[in-house]
Amino acid sequence: MDDKTRLLRSLAIDRPQPATPSVTRRDRRAGLLTLGAVGIVAVLGAAAGMWLWFAPPSAKVPTVETAAAHPPQPEPVQRATAVSEQRNGSSLVASGFVVARRKATIAAEITGKVVELLVDEGMVVQAGQVLAKLDDILADKDYVLAEARAEASDAAVAAIAADLRDAERILERTQTLSQKNFATEADLTKSQARVGVLRAQLRQAEAQRSAARVEAQRFGAVLSKYQIRAPFPGIVVDRSAQPGEMISPLSAGGGFTRTGICTIVDMDSIEVEVDVNEASIGRLHAGTRVGAALDAYPDWTVPGAVIAIVPTANREKATVKVRVGLDVKDPRILPDMAIKVTFLGDSPGRPDAPSAGESKNNVVSK
């Protein structure tokens, strides 16, 4: 029996029994500390909630949930404009462009064909210099004909004047003979009538001579229009016509007729135009000193001063146009160049700088 019992026990499968945790004094102390820490955190959370509830809005600190619910909004981006303006300390900076006050596209006053073009881009021209010549064959013939008519009128006046002098001498002799009863009354009347007729013919011939001279001057002026001249000194920046093309003051021939010969810029009239925010325009007046820097030459500062503040505002951009004159005339400064202007203020001892009381009235320069 004992052998059978041992055999049966050897065939039985032993299953592990769950171990009963034995609670020691150290584990009990750790649990108490954990409960105490949780209680302290709960008390601090309650205190923080009461402080946030009763504290003023300015002292509240956004929590993580609040920051997540209301993310910071980006600052509004201002609408980009062609002119940028910023404040650098106490200075006002604005962007603009170089402009020429005197810039003209030279055109013909009459219609004609270009036979000779005497200018090219970059050429310096003087006032009155011939820029181009038009075909003037017919105009020259008209002028020669008018001059011939004027000369004929001069000859007619001279002939009538000679006849008048002869008739006046005959009249004087007839009057003398009539007083001595050697001439009849009919001879005297005839001499007087001839003198009157010749005097009238002389006045008519003189009027015709004056008209012929005016006509000759007119055809001479028309002939001079076939030579296109520069109205002022400057530099040719564009040539828009070629020899053989038709030129007209009006585009009567459509796309086959030019209206201009070239474009001339007076480099002595170079200045700067900038748009300043209307909120800052009160800081400027005529005479305010500036420092201008071209985008092409950022390391070169050109001194200058405000010429005038144009008395009108741009409603769309909320800006006011300001004209700035440069103290330096340099061939590197070209029209339509981008430039940044820093408004510095009045230079000490500057005679043309207005006083504080005059700054409001000095909006436009003289």
Provide the 3-class DSSP secondary structure of residue 361: coil
Q: Give the start-to-end residue ranges of the domains of the chain.
A: 31-71, 85-101+268-345, 103-135+226-265, 137-222
CA–CA distance, 186 with 140 (Å, rounded to integer) = 53
* Max Cα distance, the chain (Å): 216
* pLDDT for residue 259: 78
Report the pLDDT value the prediction gives residue 181, as an integer from 0 to 100.
84
With a cut of 70, list the residues of the chain below it in pLDDT.
1-5, 7-39, 41, 43, 47-90, 251-257, 345-366
Residue type, 15: R
Instruction: Answer for the pair 35, 27: CB distance below 8 angstroms, yes or no.
Output: no
Residues with Cβ < 8 Å from 130, sequence gap 6 or more? 118, 227, 228, 229
Q: What is the pLDDT of residue 225?
A: 92
State the pLDDT at residue 33: 66
User: Which residue, among 81, 39, 49, has the nearest Cα to 314 in the 3D structure?
Assistant: 81
Q: What whole-number distance in Å separates Cα of residue 277 and Cα of residue 168?
A: 86
The answer to whether 136 and 116 have CB atoms below 8 angstroms apart is no
Tokens of 348: 């000490």
pLDDT at 51: 63
Which residue do the tokens 């209307």 mark? Answer: 278
- Amino acid letter, 308: A
CA 118/CA 240 separation, integer angstroms: 13
Q: Can you name the CATH fold of 103-135+226-265?
A: OB fold (Dihydrolipoamide Acetyltransferase, E2P) (2.40.50)
pLDDT at 8: 62
Residues forming beta bridges with residue 239, ordered by sequence position? 262
Please give the DSSP secondary-structure letter assigned to residue 181: T
Note whether 347 and 353 are within 8 A (CB): yes
Asked if 248 and 257 count as a contact pair (C-beta separation under 8 A), the reply is yes
How far is C-alpha 41 from the chain's CA centre? 72
H helices, E strands: number in the chain:
5, 16
pLDDT given for residue 250 in this prediction: 74
| Cβ atoms of 146 and 215 closer than 8 Å | yes
Residue 201's pLDDT is what? 93
User: What are the distances in angstroms from CA 175 to CA 162, 179, 197, 222?
Assistant: 20, 6, 18, 53
Q: Which residues does 337 contact at the CB level (< 8 Å), separation at least 6? A: 97, 98, 294, 295, 296
3-state secondary structure of 56: coil
Predicted local distance difference test score (pLDDT) of residue 304: 93
CATH fold for domain 85-101+268-345? Elongation Factor Tu (Ef-tu); domain 3 (2.40.30)
Show the tokens assigned to 353. 């700088």
How confident is the model at residue 77, as a pLDDT?
Answer: 35
The residue among 267, 263, 266, 259 whose CA lies nearest residue 239 is 263
